[in-house]
Amino acid sequence: MGRQYKRKDHFYEKAKDSGYRSRASYKLIELNKQSKLLKPGARVLDLGCFPGGWLQVALDKVGPKGLVVGVDLKPVDALERNGAAAKIFQGDIMSPEVQNILRAESPEGYDAVISDLSPKLSGIAFRDAAQSAELVQMGLHIAREFLVEGGDFVAKIFPGQECEELIPQIRSSFRKCSRKNLDSTRKSSKELYILAQGFKGA
């Protein structure tokens, strides 16, 4: 049986009151305060964007001169904030068709690739960690394909051997790589975020 947690915690209620689609919005807000991931005018690619909480934060931060593109296997409702709309696509981020769409949306590349992708949790720590690492590996592939030089990548992961093996791979492509434990993460969760900054280029 998976771990039980209180869904309607402080950040859940805060997100509801603030009009965010997900409590996860506060994770990106916290990450952005620490690292300035989302700059005005930036082009941002959000992997696994359902239900849209990270898209909302990204739109707020990059402003109307920026670009926010989201992809998810699930359908995501259209989203507009402050006169700017996110471009949302349904599909597999690893499919050539979806990747062609992403290139067409920003031929110059993206300034940030952000990923809150998570596996369907089983409650078995080593299994969840392994599946989480697979998703980060996919995100890293996308980041290497689509980031501009100097761009940033952030992804959620669960601690484990696979995480330790991924870190050197990520560091090989970025000037800085760190792990972030967030105050906005549920107390019952073991998740952390890998923040990689300064993409060295393909």
**Among all residues, which ones are annotated catalytic?**
156
13 vs 10: CA distance, rounded Å = 5
Residue 117's alpha-carbon distances to 14, 89, 101, 201, in angstroms, are 22, 15, 20, 23
Q: Which residues 6+ apart lie within 8 Å of 23 measured at CB?
A: 9, 11, 12, 14, 15, 53, 184
Reply yes or no: is the peptide bond before residue 40 cis, omega within 30 of 0. Answer: no
Q: Which of 34, 49, 83 is nearest to 63 (CA)?
A: 83
